[in-house]
Amino acid sequence: MQYKIALLKGDGIGPEIIESAVSVLERIAAKYGHDFYFTSYPIGGCAIDTVGVPLPKETVEGCLASDSVLLGAVGGPKWDHLPGDLRPEKALLGIRAALGLYTNLRPAKLFPALRDASPLRADLIASGFDIMIVRELTGGIYFGERGYRNGKYGEEAFDTEAYSVLEIERIGRAAFETAMKRQKRLTSVDKANVLETSRLWRKTMHQLAEAYPEVTYQDMFVDNAAMQLVRNPQQFDVIVTSNMFGDILSDEASQLTGSIGMLASASMGDSSRGMYEPIHGSAPDIAGQNKANPIATILSAAMMLRYAFGLSAEAQCIEDAIDAVLAAGFRTADILGNSKTDICSGSDMTGKILNAIG
Catalytic residues: 142, 191, 223, 247, 251
Instruction: Tell me the closest approach of the beta carbon of residue 85 to Mg ion, in angstroms.
Output: 20
Give how many residues touch ligand IPM by CB under 6 A.
5
Task: Pick the stretch among 65-73, 164-172, 244-252, 328-336 that binds Mg ion (CB under 5 A).
Answer: 244-252
205 or 279: whose CB is closer to ligand IPM?
A: 279
SS3 217: strand
Least Å distance, CB 147 to ligand IPM, is: 19
DSSP string, 14-64: HHHHHHHHHHHHHHHHHHHT-EEEEEE---THHHHHHHSSSS-HHHHHHHH
- Of Mg ion, ligand IPM, none, which one does residue 92 interact with (CB within 5 to 8 Å by kind)? ligand IPM
Cα–Cα distance, 2 to 304 (Å, whole number)? 14
State yes or no: residue 136 binds Mg ion (CB under 5 A).
Answer: no
- Report the residue from 136, 247, 314, 334 that binds ligand IPM according to the rule CB under 6 A: 247
- Decide if residue 92 touches ligand IPM (CB under 6 A): yes
| Region near Mg ion per CB under 5 A, out of 52-60, 61-69, 197-205, 247-255 | 247-255
By the rule CB under 6 A, 136 interacts with ligand IPM: no
**Is residue 43 a contact residue for ligand IPM (CB under 6 A)?**
no
The answer for residues whose C-beta is within 8 angstroms of residue 71's C-beta and 6 or more apart is 8, 10, 14, 43, 92, 95, 275, 276, 277
CA distance 234 to 140: 28
CA distance 261 to 155: 39
Nearer to ligand IPM, 96 or 170 (CB): 96
Q: Does 314 bind ligand IPM (CB under 6 A)?
A: no
349 touches ligand IPM by CB under 6 A: no
Residue number, nearest CB to ligand IPM: 89
DSSP 289: T
* Of 142 and 236, CB closest to ligand IPM: 142
Task: Provide the minimum distance between the beta carbon of 248 and Mg ion in the complex, in angstroms, as a whole number.
Answer: 8
Using CB under 5 A as the binding rule, whether residue 67 contacts Mg ion is answered as: no
Contact status: 229 vs ligand IPM (CB under 6 A): no
SS3 178: helix
User: Rounded to the nearest 10 degrees, what angle do helices 243-256 and 222-231 cross at?
Assistant: 10
C-alpha span between 267 and 276 (Å, rounded) = 6
CB of 306 closer than 8 Å to CB of 319: no
Q: Does residue 247 touch Mg ion according to CB under 5 A? A: yes
Site string for ligand IPM, 156-195 (x = CB under 6 A): ----------------------------------------
Q: How far apart are CA 68 and CA 339, in angstroms?
A: 39
Task: Give how far the C-alpha of residue 227 lies from the chain's centroid of Cα atoms, to the nearest Å.
Answer: 21
89 counts as binding ligand IPM under rule CB under 6 A: yes
User: What angle separates helix 346-357 from helix 14-32, to the nearest 10 degrees?
Assistant: 10
Choice between 187 and 254, CB closer to ligand IPM: 254
User: Per-residue x/- marks for Mg ion, 257-296, CB under 5 A?
Assistant: ----------------------------------------
Contact call for residue 249 and ligand IPM (CB under 6 A): no
Given the complex with ligand IPM, which of 247 and 314 has the nearer CB atom? 247
Which of 28, 141, 189, 279 lies at the binding interface for ligand IPM (CB under 6 A)?
279
Encode burial over 229-245: b for 16+ CB neighbours within 10 A, e otherwise. Answer: beeebeebbbbbbbbbb
How far apart, in whole angstroms, are the C-alpha atoms of residue 216 and residue 257? 25
Q: Check if the beta carbon of residue 221 is closer than 8 Å to that of residue 277.
A: no
- Residues in contact with Mg ion by CB under 5 A are 247
- Residues in contact with ligand IPM by CB under 6 A are 89, 92, 247, 279, 281
